[in-house]
Structure 1
Amino acid sequence: MNINGEFIAFFIFSVLAIGGAVFMINLTRVMHMALALAFTFFSIAGLYVLLDAPFLAVIQILIYTGAVSILMIFGIMLTKHKDEDKVAPFTVHKLLSLLGVGGFLAIVIWIIYRNPFFSTGEPQAAAFKVTDLGKAMFKTYMIPFEVTSILLLVALIGAIVLAKREEKK
């Protein structure tokens, strides 16, 4: 195994991404969960940089780490939450779930190592460029793109209205 700087950076970013996802699942406060999710998104952007995809890394930071995380934090701040920090006891159900997830992980890893997904031939470079993506997005798919943005705006306004309605009760 060749250990170099790229391998170390990949290891650090992957551990940070997995750690952020685990914290997101296990934390009890919703604000902490949103911050852990933003941390995971930022780590994935680092992985994109290592894959020599700087455009995807910037988009990951702008859209997911920035916009989606901030939108989630606004949604959390606009809704009312009960501060109940009850720690659930460790039950047999949790143990069986942990064993099931561990078994599923073992099967997935076994399948991945038994069946190679990539051919051993010479990889071919794709001729697709970012300019082609921009042309497709703003010429071919302009209407679906705008409809999606309107749908997201309506969802945000609906969340604010629901939060204000709950506050009056």
Structure 2
Amino acid sequence: MNINGETILFLLLSFGAIGGAIFFINLERVMHMAISLAFCFFSIAGIYLLLHAEFLAVIQILIYTGAVSILMIYGIMLTKQKKEEGQEERRFWDQATAFAGVGILLVALLWILNRFPFIGSPEIGNFKLVDIGMTLFKKYVIPFEIASILLLIALIGAIILAKREEKN
């Protein structure tokens, strides 16, 4: 088996996607569940990049990791959450653990990027990514903009409904 940078990165992204999904199912706090779901979506976008499907990776990040996760976090922030006792003491250890985890991940990724070669191709099948973008923003610009306006209206409606419930 030829182990190169793509293989190791695929394994890391696969474990990240699976881990994010497992954490989403097992965590108790809704905010942590939303963050783990965003991590899962981001890992899947990385797998799309490894498959040379850059357009799908960008759409995955924009729509799922960006829009869906942010809407979930807004929904969580607009609802009331119960405060737990002893949160201040745990907060320091949570932040220290998160900082250590991010540091370890950064060191591992930098080591992999410097140690193993990456093989890639700028083309997707028989066409380039520029062709997809030109088609999307020339031929389908109206449906694209209508979808973004509908998402904005849904977000404003959710905020209005959450504020109404808060007054009662």
TM-score range, shorter chain: 0.5 to 0.7
Task: Say if 2:4 is the partner of 1:4.
Answer: yes
C-alpha deviation, 1:70, in angstroms: 2.3
Distance 1:157 1:139 in 2: 28
Three-state SS of the structure 2 residue aligned to 1:35 is helix
Task: Say if 2:14 is the partner of 1:21.
Answer: no
Number of equivalenced pairs: 129
Task: Say if 2:135 is the partner of 1:136.
Answer: yes
Amino acid at match of 1:75: G
TM-score by length of structure 1 reads: 0.65
After the TM superposition, list the runs of 4 or more consecutive aligned residues in structure 1 that deviate by more than 6 angstroms.
Answer: none
Q: What are the Cα deviations for residues 14-47 of structure 1, in whole angstroms up to 9, with x where unaligned?
A: 0110110111122221101110011112212321
Distance 2:143 2:5 in 1: 42
C-alpha deviation, 1:148, in angstroms: 0.9
Give the match for residue 145 of structure 1.
Answer: 144
Specify every segment of 5 or more residues in structure 1 that has no aligned partner in the other structure, as ranges: 85-124
Amino acid at match of 2:43: S
Instruction: Give the superposed CA RMSD.
Output: 2.4
Distance 2:127 2:143 in 1: 21
Identity %: 72
Three-state SS of the structure 2 residue aligned to 1:44 is helix
Larger radius of gyration: 1
Q: What are the Cα deviations for residues 30-70 of structure 1, in whole angstroms up to 9, with x where unaligned?
A: 10111001111221232123223445444433443334322
Task: Say if 2:157 is the partner of 1:158.
Answer: yes
Distance 1:139 1:57 in 2: 21
Asked if 2 retains the 8 angstrom alpha-carbon contact of 1:16 and 1:40, the reply is yes
Distance 1:35 1:139 in 2: 35
Q: 1:138 to 1:3 in 2, by over 3 A?
A: closer
Asked if 1 retains the 8 angstrom alpha-carbon contact of 2:54 and 2:129, the reply is no
